[in-house]
Amino acid sequence: MFFKRIKTPGIAHAAYVIGNEGEAAVVDPRRDIDEYLAAARAEDLTIKYVIETHRQEDFVIGSAELARVTGAKIVNGRHELFGHGDIRLEDGEDFSFKGLRLRALHTPGHTPESMCYAVFIPDSPDRAWGIFSGDTLFIGEAGRTDLPDPKKTGQNAGLLYDMIHEKLLPLGDQAMLFPAHGSGSVCGGNIAERDESKGCTSGHGLTGCMQLAVSSWVFTPLMFANATLAARALFGKGAK
């Protein structure tokens, strides 16, 4: 299996190339696609799919350009905000290519259409290897919930909190997180500087960190609106 994170300088954006047995998918590409093409070419991979987690506001997404150049199919969710998609996945639906399996998870809160994709690889077909989380969940932070409608910030935060608990945490402590942005992005207020999500400063995995944090939380309306608490607990930064 081939996997590579490709960053966009200046806006802290990250795209991913994942491939196996001669085929590859690119997740959340920018419009300047040369680096993705070069990465695939170096590994003798043909880009067959472009996967979108949500609409991007801080850069021009390169799905259409990559599809035009390579003939790849665009994969996304059923929500109308995605616009064009060749393969439209339902919540919980699996999509497979060359031994890799992705499970689509609809995780609204940051945006109404937001999708995450749990990745299952041949070496461990029954346990998620990783999660392409878009801007739903970063390393140490959750996505902003004020962008779709500032008047619904609290409602969206509650929704995002539920999505993290109900759909991402059950994937297990072993699953690595691959978000669309890193430290310095305006999409989250306190994203950790590291790229890797494995482990927690308390020594617990993702579930352990959440359980420790939840046991001490008192949910006032303000705290409930602050969905970043969920992500900080997940990755050991503490619920401050």
- Identity (one letter) of the amino acid at 210? M
Domains of the chain in start order, with CATH, are: 2-234 (3.60.15.10)
H or E, element range at 6: strand 2-8
Tens-binned pLDDT, residue by residue, of the chain (240 aa): 999 999 888 777 889 999 999 999 999 998 899 999 999 999 999 999 999 998 866 556 889 999 999 999 999 999 988 889 999 999 999 999 999 999 999 999 888 889 999 999 999 899 999 999 988 887 766 777 777 788 888 888 888 889 999 999 999 988 998 998 765 444 445 554 555 655 433 333 454 334 433 333 333 333 344 444 444 444 444 333
Q: How many helices (H) and strands (E) does the chain have?
A: 6, 11
What pLDDT digit, counting tens, does each position of 165-192 carry? 999 999 998 899 899 876 544 444 555 4
Query: pLDDT tens digit string along 107-138?
Result: 998 888 899 999 999 998 999 999 999 888 87
